[in-house]
Amino acid sequence: MDQLPHHGDDEEKKTLPEFTLRRFQLSDLDEFMAWASDDRVMRFLREPRTDRAAALGHLKGRIMPHPWYRAICVEDRPVGWVSATPAPDDSLHRASLGYGLAYDH
């Protein structure tokens, strides 16, 4: 794991957790609900997902089939998402990148 230099009087270093990107799974619903229903996370994004059944439908119907939508994981536990959407024109070189992280991350 990488180390960050600690700026202070002591010589301690803070260990950074390893993160990975992976496809979402149905078993991620609880973690997804934790941030997707949090107004602090969702206030600048799409509508919050406060209903479990609707969140499951969104996960199964939109997120999991999306070719470029990934879970941002710390120790294989989803703490956010990242997605890319191709530009609406025929450009092969442009896309929109979106992301969100749980408030504590």
Residue with tokens 């479990």: 52
**Is the CATH number 3.40.630.30 carried by domain 16-101?**
yes
**Pairing relation of β-strands 95-101 and 19-22?**
unpaired
pLDDT, the chain, mean:
84
Give the separation between CA 1 and CA 18, rounded to whole angstroms. Answer: 7
Convert the pLDDT of each residue in 35-85 to its tens digit: 888 878 877 777 667 788 988 999 999 999 999 999 999 998 999 999 998
Taking residues 82-103, what's their average pLDDT?
85
pTM for the predicted model, two decimal places: 0.75
Instruction: In whole angstroms, give the CA distance from residue 57 to residue 55.
Output: 5
The whole-number pLDDT of residue 56 equals: 93
pLDDT at 27 over 80: yes
Q: What is the DSSP annotation of the chain?
A: --EEPP-SSS---EEPPPEEEE---GGGHHHHHHHHT-HHHHTTSS-----HHHHHHHIIIIITT-TTEEEEEETTEEEEEEEEEE-SSS-SS-EEEEEEE-TT-
pLDDT value, residue 77: 93
Domain ranges of the chain: 16-101
Amino acid 91: pLDDT:
72
